[in-house]
Amino acid sequence: MKDQILLVQNEALSAITATQDSRQLEEVRVAVLGKKGSLTALSSGMKDVPAAEKGAIGQALNAARQAITEALEAKQADLQEMADRAALVGIDPTLPARALAAGAIHPLTLLRERAVGILRRMGFALADGPEIEDEFHCFDALNTPADHPARNEKDTFYFDSGKLLRTHTSSVQVRSMERSTPPLRIIAPGTAYRRDEIDSTHLSAFHQLEGLYVDRDVSLPDLKGTLEAFLQELFGAGTAVRFRPHFFPFTEPSFEIDVKLEVKGQAPRWIEVAGCGMVDPAVFEAVCQSRGDRVFDPDVVTGFAFGMGLERLAMIQWGIRDIRLLIENDVRFLRQFA
């Protein structure tokens, strides 16, 4: 029996050495170790071996199986290496690689990150709210009654459910006050939607950066100082900023903010970049009702709010003449910001 085992082992090893590819190698494996393989057949002969020899024969069988298995594995590795080498024939691995076309950050993202960075250093924390809003958060709570023109079906995208695509990020003011308590200092960058005809200064989906500061004794000088400092940090220390009286239902008094755009060879122009104002007491009242408590009691707290158009800021920052360039994804345009 021992001789038979050695014979099978030697035959298997030389068959393994002789194989040319992994298909042949697999055939050898099956012929020796498979269910009907030669070594398997010898193993099943164990039951007829006299008890005294069982140990020695068993050991010989195991040794043979191990030697064959190792040879199979070694041969498989050799074959794989040969195949790898063959695959490389004709390829020059020293050729320089083709350059990858690296992407870059979109100008709107660049601007948003910078704006958010400045405001965070001033103590504002990021807040968020849904783009699909209800009328309460977008309008009612913001002192914008049902007969206000902003609620015209033609100005806003409504769903059958009565929900709508928010026309401004000011809804996040309400949501933030509903879930925290004063002092509150938040900024909320995000998308806003309007049924505007798309032209060189309008998009139907655009971006705003909302801000809200509520505490005891927040005053108009706080609003003015904060936004002036912000705009001068964004556009440069010498930047001229002007506050123009305006009307928003949810702030009183309200202002629009213009920044002086000075492009070489052009007459300077004032560009509107933001709306802002002192939070209207009616907004605090709506929040108190919605919360069911008085922590935003307008007799106790005051606040200011602002909303900026990020596309407008980007246009000023880089002298971009047409807002549509920001959404067309023309690489010749975008490459300039890389």
Cα atoms in the Cβ-side hemisphere of radius 13 Å centred on 239 = 23
Element containing residue 214 per DSSP (H, E): strand 205-215
H helices present in 167-268, as ranges: 171-179, 220-235
Residue whose beta carbon is closest to ligand PHE: 307
Question: Nearest CA to 6 among 39, 31, 44, 36?
Answer: 39
Q: Which of 39, 119, 223, 305 binds ligand PHE (CB under 6 A)?
A: 305
Of the two residues 16 and 141, which places its CB atom closer to ligand PHE in the complex? 141
Q: Which residues contact 100 (CB under 8 A, 6 or more apart)?
A: none
Residues β-bridged to residue 125: 186
Q: Which of 139, 284, 296, 306 binds ligand PHE (CB under 6 A)?
A: 306
Spatial contact of 25 and 75, defined as CB atoms under 8 Å apart = yes
CA gap 183, 290 in Å, rounded: 18
Number of residues that bind ligand PHE (CB under 6 A): 11
End-to-end CA distance of the chain: 78
CA gap 281, 191 in Å, rounded: 26
Report, in Å, the least distance between residue 268 CB and ligand PHE.
Answer: 24
Cα–Cα–Cα angle for 217, 115, 205, rounded to 5 degrees: 105
Residue 174 in contact with ligand PHE, rule: CB under 6 A: no
Residues between 38 and 67 that touch ligand PHE (CB under 6 A) = none
Distance of CA 311 to the CA centre of its chain: 20
Q: Which of 19, 144, 170, 226 binds ligand PHE (CB under 6 A)?
A: 170
Of the two residues 34 and 253, which places its CB atom closer to ligand PHE in the complex? 253
Report, in Å, the least distance between residue 147 CB and ligand PHE.
Answer: 18
Of the two residues 107 and 211, which places its CB atom closer to ligand PHE in the complex? 211
Residues between 249 and 288 that touch ligand PHE (CB under 6 A) = 251, 254, 275-277
CA gap 78, 244 in Å, rounded: 81
Report, in Å, the least distance between residue 254 CB and ligand PHE.
Answer: 6
Of the two residues 146 and 267, which places its CB atom closer to ligand PHE in the complex? 146
Of the two residues 25 and 209, which places its CB atom closer to ligand PHE in the complex? 209
Of the two residues 11 and 252, which places its CB atom closer to ligand PHE in the complex? 252
Residues β-bridged to residue 270: 260
Residues between 189 and 248 that touch ligand PHE (CB under 6 A) = 248
Q: Which of 37, 182, 303, 307 binds ligand PHE (CB under 6 A)?
A: 307
Of the two residues 248 and 296, which places its CB atom closer to ligand PHE in the complex? 248
Q: Which of 137, 166, 168, 207 binds ligand PHE (CB under 6 A)?
A: 168
CA gap 329, 106 in Å, rounded: 9
Binding region for ligand PHE (CB under 6 A): 168, 170, 248, 251, 254, 275-277, 305-307
